[in-house]
Amino acid sequence: MRFILPVGLIATTLAIAPVRFDGEKVLRVKLQDEKQANIIKDLAQTNQLDFWYPDAAHHVAANMTIDFRVSEKESQSIQSSLDQNKMHYEILIHDLQEEIEKQFDVKEDIPGRHSYAKYNNWDKIVAWTEKMVHKHPEMVSRIKIGTTVEDNPLYVLKIGKRDERRKAIFMDCGIHAREWISPAFCQWFVYQAAKTYGKNKIMTKLLDRMNFYVLPVFNVDGYIWSWTQNRMWRKNRSKNQNSNCIGTDLNRNFNASWNSFPNTKDPCAETYRGPEPESEKETKAVTDFIRSHLKSIKAYITFHSYSQMLLFPYGYTSKLPPNYKDLAKVAKISTDVLSTRYETRYIYGPIASTIYPTSGSSLDWAYNLGIKHTFAFELRDKGKFCFLLPESQIKPTCKETLLAVKFIAKYILKHTS
Ligand SMILES: [Zn+2]
């Protein structure tokens, strides 16, 4: 027995070298018909394709434009199959490793310090949450809503006055680990809200009357993993029974038609739904928190990337939600407002028809719980850098998105009871 512990310790402390992506490509294919969609599905069976858009091979359909990552080894044969079948494609990213390195294109002011113009790792984000509370004790408080599988804390920052009866909006970022622009936005939002209160008319009005709950990183373990081991990681880091594959897709783990898409059953899939609804500690912490604040929460907004879309329910059915007109109106004006800053174009609509059908999403769950205004942002870009949006685009992305979020909040303040 004496020897087991040290051996185990060595195994866990021996750092594995981070995954490299030298020569890996991201291809974009414009599918003309059903036949071409099936060719892609067949290729996905025999090759290691990592689907970036849509997020799984089973969503691939005729007339869709799809993006996927392919290894250097398989890229030649994939490209020749596409050529042979006269399929239209372009190479979005020629060398993924190069692109990963290029995303850090903003120089640090002070090495090691948190910066809104840069991507921040988890340690910096934790220190930043403390700083926010310390700097704005009247306005910002930190609530630990639970812990992750790897025992990291899940922090929600509450912005607003200490009155639980006021209307509130819940926002989360970083449910999918590799979508780094998302946590960057949540940090920007908290910073701007606290900083511009008392100065900016709209923000002052909002914070005088409502609260915001902001979860800057939902999938903390996955986010850490995407920094230290695998930049392309998406799921959380929980171990799966009877499988060597790690992780559940937290955005398939909610109790909203959870059982209806059999393709999310495979623990090795990027869209694995988990063994049961809310099986994951991260999901459970968020759902418990929202349920216990349901009286005040009037809107739920979740941030993803990429593809520049503003989505609302439903994901699991093509039926329109009862307040469809209202949601479509808010989404239309929000995306219009967003584009006023840099002319960034967004499309909007229900998840199922705008992007593709999904089950177990946080958005549908929150809607069915009774939060009638639920939105998902798919932030920049539309496919030049994809998940590797350069840091030089963080601030513009955050600034334009903030305009849209402020509009939604204003609407909630005025039109919900
Ligand atoms: Zn996502």
pLDDT tens-digit readout, 155-182 = 999 999 877 679 999 999 999 999 999 9
CA pair distance 174, 11, nearest whole angstrom = 29
In tens, the pLDDT along 361-371 reads 999 999 999 99
Q: Which residues of 228-254 are buried (b: 16+ CB within 10 A; e: fewer)?
A: eebbbbbbbbbebeeeeebbbbbbbbb
Pairing of strands 297-305, 167-173: parallel
Contact call for residues 69 and 24 (beta carbons, < 8 A):
yes
pLDDT the model gives residue 263:
78
pLDDT the model gives residue 162:
76
pLDDT the model gives residue 9:
46
Contact call for residues 157 and 142 (beta carbons, < 8 A):
yes
Q: How confident is the model at residue 380 (pLDDT cuts 50, 70, 90)?
A: very high
Pairing of strands 88-93, 153-159: unpaired
Question: How many residues belong to the chain?
Answer: 417
What is the percent of the chain with per-residue pLDDT over 70, rounded to a whole number? Answer: 96
Instruction: Give me ligand 1 centre to Cα 185, in Å.
Output: 14
pLDDT the model gives residue 17:
87
In tens, the pLDDT along 47-80 reads 999 999 998 898 899 999 999 999 999 999 999 9
Please give the DSSP secondary-structure letter assigned to residue 19. P
Instruction: Give me ligand 1 centre to Cα 66, in Å.
Output: 15
Instruction: Give me ligand 1 centre to Cα 271, in Å.
Output: 10
Instruction: Give me ligand 1 centre to Cα 52, in Å.
Output: 10
pLDDT the model gives residue 109:
77
Q: How confident is the model at residue 14 (pLDDT cuts 50, 70, 90)?
A: low
- In 230-315, which ranges are continuous DSSP H helix? 281-292
CA pair distance 402, 185, nearest whole angstrom = 8
Instruction: Give me ligand 1 centre to Cα 378, in Å.
Output: 7
Instruction: Give me ligand 1 centre to Cα 197, in Å.
Output: 30
pLDDT the model gives residue 260:
84
Instruction: Give me ligand 1 centre to Cα 343, in Å.
Output: 23
Q: Which residue has the higher pLDDT, 330 or 263?
A: 330
Measured CA to CA in angstroms, residue 19 lies from 71, 136, 269 at distances of 12, 40, 18
In tens, the pLDDT along 283-308 reads 999 999 999 999 999 999 999 999 99
CA pair distance 321, 161, nearest whole angstrom = 33
In tens, the pLDDT along 109-153 reads 788 889 999 999 999 999 999 999 999 999 999 999 999 999 999
Pairing of strands 373-379, 297-305: parallel
> One of 282, 378, 391, 400 is an active-site residue; which one?
378
User: Per the omega criterion (within 30 degrees of 0), is the bond before 381 cis?
Assistant: yes
Amino acid type, 273:
R
Specify the range with the lowest mean pLDDT, choosing from 84-88, 164-168, 372-376. Answer: 164-168
Asked if the model's pLDDT at residue 10 lies above 50, the reply is: no
pLDDT the model gives residue 15:
66
Give the HSE-up count for residue 359: Cα atoms under 13 Å, Cβ half-sphere: 16
pLDDT the model gives residue 2:
43
pLDDT the model gives residue 363:
98
Tell me what the mean pLDDT of segment 307-322 comes to. 97
Instruction: Give me ligand 1 centre to Cα 38, in Å.
Output: 25
Instruction: Give me ligand 1 centre to Cα 304, in Å.
Output: 4
pLDDT the model gives residue 7:
43
Classify residue 257 as left (phi > 0), alpha (psi -120 to 50) or beta. Answer: left
pLDDT the model gives residue 1:
41
Classify residue 368 as left (phi > 0), alpha (psi -120 to 50) or beta. Answer: alpha
Instruction: Give me ligand 1 centre to Cα 56, in Å.
Output: 12
CA pair distance 171, 159, nearest whole angstrom = 11
Is 34 a known active-site residue? no
